[in-house]
Chain A
Amino acid sequence: MSEEQIKELEIQFEARIARDEKIEPKDWMPEKYRQTHIRQMSQHAHSEIIGMLPEGNWITRAPTLRRKVALLAKVQDEGGHGLYLYSATETLGITRDELLEQLHTGKAKYSSIFNYPAISWADMGAIGWLVDGAAIINQIALCGASYGPYARAMVRICKEESFHQRQGYEILVTLMKGTQEQKNMAQDALNRFWWPSLMMFGPTDAESPHTAQSMKWKLKRKTNDDLRQQFIDQTVPQAELIGLTIPDSDLKWNEEKQQYDSGEINWDEFWQVVKGHGPCNKERMKARIAAHENGQWVRDAAMAYAEKKEKRKTNK
C-alpha cells in the first residue's frame, strides 16, 4: 500500500472512532493502534493473573469457611479475567505464548500494586476494597473502549468485580467491630495499601505522554487524575464510616470544588516499583515462571493424549 493510501485509511479510521463505531479484529487499523492495544491489553491481562498470587497465598489461611469460599471464588474470577483479556489480545494477531514470554522476560509490565506483600489477613480486606475498587473505576471507564473485543471483555469483567470489592470491605467492617488488635490490623492494612492504590491510576496527566492519543482512540475514556480523584472521593467516606483513618494528613474536603484535596504521591516510589525494585517484584516473577514451567509437562501430556484419541477415532 502506498503512503497516500495509508493516510486515507487512517483518516477514515479516525472518523469511525469519532463516530463511536467499534473496531473489530479483521478491520483495518493503524499499526500503532494495534501495538498500543496489545501493550495495554496484555498488561491488563498480566495484572489479572499476577494479582492471583498475593491473594492465593491466603486461601488456606482464611479464618472461616465463608471467607475461604469467597476468596477462592475471587481468585478464580481473576484467572478468568486474565483469560478474557488474553483472548481479546490474541485477536490482534499475537499468540498466547508470545504474550507470556513478554511477561516472563520482563518486557511486558503488570500493575505495580501486586509487587507489595500481603502480610496479614486484613490485607485481604484492603486489597478487595481498595485494589479491586480502583480496578473497577479503571475498568468501567474502559467498557466504552473503541476496540470491540476489549470493550466486551471489560463489560464481562465489571459484572464480576463488584463482589470482589464488597467481600474485601466486609472483611474490614468485621475487623473494625472486633478487638483493638483487630482494629489495628485493619488500620495497618489501609496504611500500607492506600498510597499504592492511588498509584494504580498511573502517573499524573502531566507526566503521561500517551494520554492524548489514548483518549483520541478511546482506549482511555478519562484521564488518570480524573479517575484517581473519583476513587478518593468515593473511598474516603467508606473509610470514615467504619472508623478507619486515611493515612494522608493533607486530605480535606474542598467545599468549593466539591471534592477532596489530597497530599502528594511519592512518585519516586512508584517509578522504583515499576522499574522492578518493589518489595515483591522478584518473588512474583519467580512464582509465575515456576507455575508456567512446572505446568509444561501437563500441557504436553494433554496435547499428546488429545492426539492419541484423535488417531484412534480416525483408525476406526
Chain B
Amino acid sequence: MERVRDRMKKNWPLWEVFVRSKNGLEHRHFGSLHAADAEMALENARDVYTRRNEGISIWVVESKHITATNPDNNGELFEPAKDKIYRHPTFYDLPDEIKHM
C-alpha cells in the first residue's frame, strides 16, 4: 500500500504565469503556481492573478521549459554593452542650431 502511495504521489509541476493587463500592453510575468496540466494552470492563474480585473489574457508555461542566463556570466554577457556609448544618440556632436534630429 505504502509503495502504491509513493508511486501515486507525483507533485503537480510548477508553471510561470504571464498576464496582459490590457490590449496594447505586453504580457508580463505575474508569478507562478502548481497545476496538473496547462488547462488547470490557466484556470488557477485566472483565479489567483486576475481577481480584480488585472488582466484580459493569460499565458502559462511550465517552468522547466524556461532557459535562463546565469548571473555568474553577467560580466561577459552584459558588460560589453556598457562601453558602446556610440550606440546612443547623445554620443554624436551636432551644431546647436540643428532641430528635429
Within 8 A of A (CB), among B16-74: 31-34, 36-37, 40, 47-48, 51-52, 68, 70-72
Chain B residues touching A, range: 20 to 34
A residues less than 8 Å from B8 (CB atoms):
300, 304
Chain A residues touching B, range: 20 to 34
Separation of A280 and B33 alpha carbons in the complex (Å): 30
On whether the beta carbons of B72 and A28 are closer than 8 Å, the reply is yes
Binds B, one of A90-98, A119-127, A240-248, A258-266: A90-98
On whether the beta carbons of A97 and B11 are closer than 8 Å, the reply is yes
Tell me whether A24 and B37 are in contact in the complex, defined as CB-CB below 8 angstroms, given that A80-B48, A300-B9 are known contacts: no
Binds B, one of A35-43, A194-202, A305-313: A305-313
Separation of A73 and B52 alpha carbons in the complex (Å): 11
Q: Which residue in chain A gives the minimum CB-CB distance to B38? A: A306
Tell me whether A303 and B71 are in contact in the complex, defined as CB-CB below 8 angstroms, given that A87-B32, A96-B34, A310-B37 are known contacts: no
On whether the beta carbons of B11 and A306 are closer than 8 Å, the reply is no
A-B contact count (CB 8 A): 52
On whether the beta carbons of B36 and A27 are closer than 8 Å, the reply is no
A150 to chain B, nearest CB (A): 12
On whether the beta carbons of B33 and A87 are closer than 8 Å, the reply is yes
On whether the beta carbons of A26 and B11 are closer than 8 Å, the reply is no
On whether the beta carbons of A27 and B37 are closer than 8 Å, the reply is no
0/1 per residue, A76-93, Cβ < 8 Å to B?
A: 110010011001001000
B residues less than 8 Å from A156 (CB atoms):
31
Is B92 interfacial (CB 8 A cutoff)? no
Q: Which residue in chain B gives the minimum CB-CB distance to A73? A: B51
Separation of A84 and B10 alpha carbons in the complex (Å): 22
B residues less than 8 Å from A87 (CB atoms):
31-33
Is A299 interfacial (CB 8 A cutoff)? yes
The CB with the most chain B CB atoms within 10 A, among A83, A160, A309, is that of A83
On whether the beta carbons of A299 and B12 are closer than 8 Å, the reply is yes
Within 8 A of B (CB), among A88-135: 90, 95-97
On whether the beta carbons of B68 and A302 are closer than 8 Å, the reply is no
B51 to chain A, nearest CB (A): 7
B residues less than 8 Å from A303 (CB atoms):
10, 12, 36
Main SS of the interface on chain A?
helix
- Which of A28, A77, A96, A304 is close to B11, meaning CB atoms less than 8 Å apart? A96
- Which of B33, B36, B48, B72 is close to A302, meaning CB atoms less than 8 Å apart? B36
B41 to chain A, nearest CB (A): 10
Separation of A84 and B32 alpha carbons in the complex (Å): 8
Q: Which residue in chain B gives the minimum CB-CB distance to A97? A: B11
On whether the beta carbons of B71 and A305 are closer than 8 Å, the reply is no
- Which of B33, B36, B68 is close to A83, meaning CB atoms less than 8 Å apart? B33
On whether the beta carbons of B68 and A26 are closer than 8 Å, the reply is yes
On whether the beta carbons of B71 and A28 are closer than 8 Å, the reply is yes
Separation of A96 and B9 alpha carbons in the complex (Å): 13
8 nearest A-B residue pairs (beta carbon): A306-B37, A302-B36, A306-B36, A87-B32, A80-B48, A300-B8, A303-B36, A303-B10
Binding site for B on A (CB under 8 A): 24, 26-28, 73, 76-77, 80, 83-84, 87, 90, 95-97, 152-153, 156, 160, 296, 299-300, 302-306, 309-310
20 contacts between A and B (CB under 8 A): A73-B51, A77-B51, A80-B51, A83-B33, A84-B31, A87-B32, A87-B33, A95-B11, A96-B11, A97-B11, A156-B31, A300-B8, A300-B9, A300-B10, A302-B12, A303-B10, A304-B8, A305-B36, A309-B37, A310-B37
